[in-house]
Chains A and B, each alone.
Chain A
Amino acid sequence: MSETVGMAESASMIRMAFVGKGGAGKSTIAGTFARLLARRGRPVLALDSDPMPGLPYSLGVEVDDHPIPDDVVVAGPEGGPRWVLRPGLDASAMVDRYAVVGPDGVCYLQFGNLWGHVARLQQAQHAWSQVVAELDRDRWHLVGDLPGGTRQAMFGWARYADTVCVVVEPTVKSMHTARRLLTLAQAKWGPSNLMLVVNKARGGSDATVVSERLGVQPVAVVPCDADAVRADRRGAAPLDAAPDGSLARAVDALVDRVVSLYSLGSLGEEVAQ
């Protein structure tokens, strides 16, 4: 049993995506992770491909209902993508223009807001694909938050990530989705690292149950944090509401672990228990 699954080249800039079943706590952990990483003096771009608001709350960024406008794209070339960024607009300019700077200096970019109909998001989706494919990978540490479930993972929405973190609650439903995501990520995605984080753990047995069922040792176990739960109810970022709480401490340790993996160039190496 290992903490990380997969093999690949080392890298220095962190490119990480959080996935899991809806409600597992992806956005909470991703947002907290992004801020704690930024506090280490690292430029962090938080990429939110969930059209529903979740990550803004955990980052402490105001929810914005103004999606990336359709006119950022023009019809693509014959045989190519349906839409491409309009001439003169590249990934870097998109971040400069549409990303929001939040607490701890985290830059936050959302793919699109889904107030009405899906058709409105098709152009934003093409823009998003191009932006994440062409981002300057030496400029940012990337922390991505995907919607719950397997759909976006299946369709390669987070190929920018070389580390995929599956967030799982110690419930049978959540573990079922996590198992699919672990399999799917390896088969379709091939990230260098595949990590498991157990969230909402009550006691040590929860982590044991999850690791036995999934055959992967969690890289972090995040306990139930009553203060963070209360903060969630009023829409406050857990890091602001409970900066020294058990959630913040566990995610801080996760940041240390990930930073260490990248800086030691041991990305993708198996970490035996």
Chain B
Amino acid sequence: MNDEATTVVADLEAGIGTLTRLDAAAVDATVVVVEPTLRSIDVARRAVAVADEQRQGRVVVVANKVSDGQDRARIEEAFGNRALVVVPEDPAIDVADRLGVSPVDHEPSAPAVAALEGLVDALGLTS
């Protein structure tokens, strides 16, 4: 895929198995999605370390399901020096998941969907 006008978005398996098997410098950016639980933070720290080591582009951490300041602090403590996008806990996502529809289609103005605009910015995808 050499078309510079094409953006490829890949959703990897949970964990870091696929990430460790990518060729070095295979992607322009790595988005590490983390929940504010210790176990999720533990895995995300490993993912960030592998992405750095393998030079997988700009690493952006997306803190998902953040419900309060304590959640946010937990994530910032672990990834404070990283580009960070915070996505709030949002019932609209839960409903969309149960319906099996895209959150963008279900409720485009949902706070979680709006927060992901920040990810586009963090990745430098807006002109």
**Which residue of A has the minimal Cβ distance to B18?**
A118
Contact of A115 among B37, B49, B97 (CB under 8 A): B49
Decide: B97 and A171 in contact? CB cutoff 8 A: yes
CA distance A170 to B99 in the complex (A): 9
Interface contact B38-A114, CB-CB below 8 Å: no
Q: Is the interface of B mostly helix, strand, loop or mixed?
A: helix
What residue in chain B is nearest A170 (Cβ atoms)? B98
Q: How far is the CB of A15 from chain B (nearest CB, A)?
A: 25
Chain A, Cβ-Cβ closest to B53: A116
Partner of B20 from the list A27, A118, A172, A234 (CB cut-off 8 Å) is A118
- CB pair B13–A234 under 8 Å, yes or no, is no
A-side contacts of B71, CB under 8 Å? 233
Q: State whether A172 touches B50 (Cβ < 8 A).
A: no
Given A57-B38, A116-B50, A147-B15, A233-B43 contact (CB < 8 Å): no
A118 touches B50 (CB 8 A): no
Q: Are the CB atoms of A52 and B38 closer together than 8 Å?
A: no
Q: Is chain A's interface secondary structure helix, strand, loop, or mixed overall?
A: loop
Please judge, given known A-B contacts A52-B46, A114-B15, A118-B20, whether A233 and B38 are in contact too, CB under 8 Å: yes
What is the interface residue range for chain A against chain B?
Answer: 20 to 34
CA distance A117 to B54 in the complex (A): 10
B49 touches A232 (CB 8 A): no
**Shortest Cβ distance from residue B105 to the other chain A in the assembled complex, whole angstroms:** 13
Tell me the smallest distance from the CB of A168 to a CB of chain B, in Å: 12
- With contact pairs A114-B15, A149-B13 given, residues A172 and B37 touching in the complex (Cβ less than 8 Å): no
8 A Cβ contacts from B29-75 to A: 36-39, 42-43, 46, 49-50, 53, 70-71, 74
Residue of A nearest to B36 (CB): A233
The answer to whether A232 touches B39 (Cβ under 8 A) is yes
Task: Tell yes or no: A54 within 8 A of B by CB.
Answer: yes
Among A98-132, those with CB < 8 Å from B are 114-118
**A114-B16 in contact (CB<8A):** yes
Q: Which residue of B lies closest to A169 (CB)?
A: B97
Does the CB pair A117–B20 fall under 8 Å? Answer: yes
B17 in the interface, Cβ–Cβ < 8 Å? yes
Please list 9 pairs of residues, one from A and one from B, whose beta carbons are closer than 8 Å in the complex, sorted by A's number. Answer: A54-B39, A116-B20, A116-B53, A147-B14, A170-B98, A172-B97, A232-B37, A233-B36, A234-B38
User: Which residues of A approach B to under 8 Å, CB–CB?
Assistant: 22-23, 27, 50-54, 57, 63, 114-118, 147-149, 151, 170-173, 232-235
Q: Which 9 A-B pairs have the closest CB atoms?
A: A172-B100, A235-B38, A22-B14, A171-B97, A52-B15, A148-B14, A57-B39, A52-B43, A232-B37
